[in-house]
């Protein structure tokens, strides 16, 4: 029975996270230290870094 209820809880949590994903991202990025860490993490990914730098260097 516990397995069933944990599975149901996981599905419900996943659905809520998907439904309100943009709201949660906006809330999280509204916290300056967290935003700073997310930017640092994202810029460590070469594809993201290249895209950001190319956008910054456009005339």
User: Quick count: other Cβ atoms within 10 Å of Cβ 48?
Assistant: 13
Task: Give me the domain span that covers residue 38.
Answer: 2-56
Is 28:22 a contact under the CB 8 Å cutoff? Answer: no
Number of domains in the chain: 1
- The answer on pLDDT for 21 being more than 80 is yes
**The predicted structure's pLDDT at residue 58:** 81
**The predicted structure's pLDDT at residue 22:** 96
Rounded Cα–Cα distance for residues 45 and 43 (Å): 5
Helix axes 2-19, 21-29, angle to 10 degrees: 70
**The predicted structure's pLDDT at residue 3:** 87
pLDDT 10s digits, 23-59: 999 999 999 999 999 999 999 999 999 998 898 888 7
Is 17:24 a contact under the CB 8 Å cutoff? Answer: yes
pTM above 0.75, yes or no: no
**The predicted structure's pLDDT at residue 2:** 84
Tell me, what DSSP letter sits at residue 45?
S
């Amino acid at each position: 029975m516990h397995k069933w209820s944990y599975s149901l809880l996981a599905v419900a949590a996943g659905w809520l996270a998907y439904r309100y994903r943009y709201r949660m991202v906006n809330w999280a990025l509204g916290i300056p230290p967290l935003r700073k860490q997310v930017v640092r993490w994202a810029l460590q990914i070469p594809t993201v870094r290249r895209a950001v730098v190319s956008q910054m260097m456009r005339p």
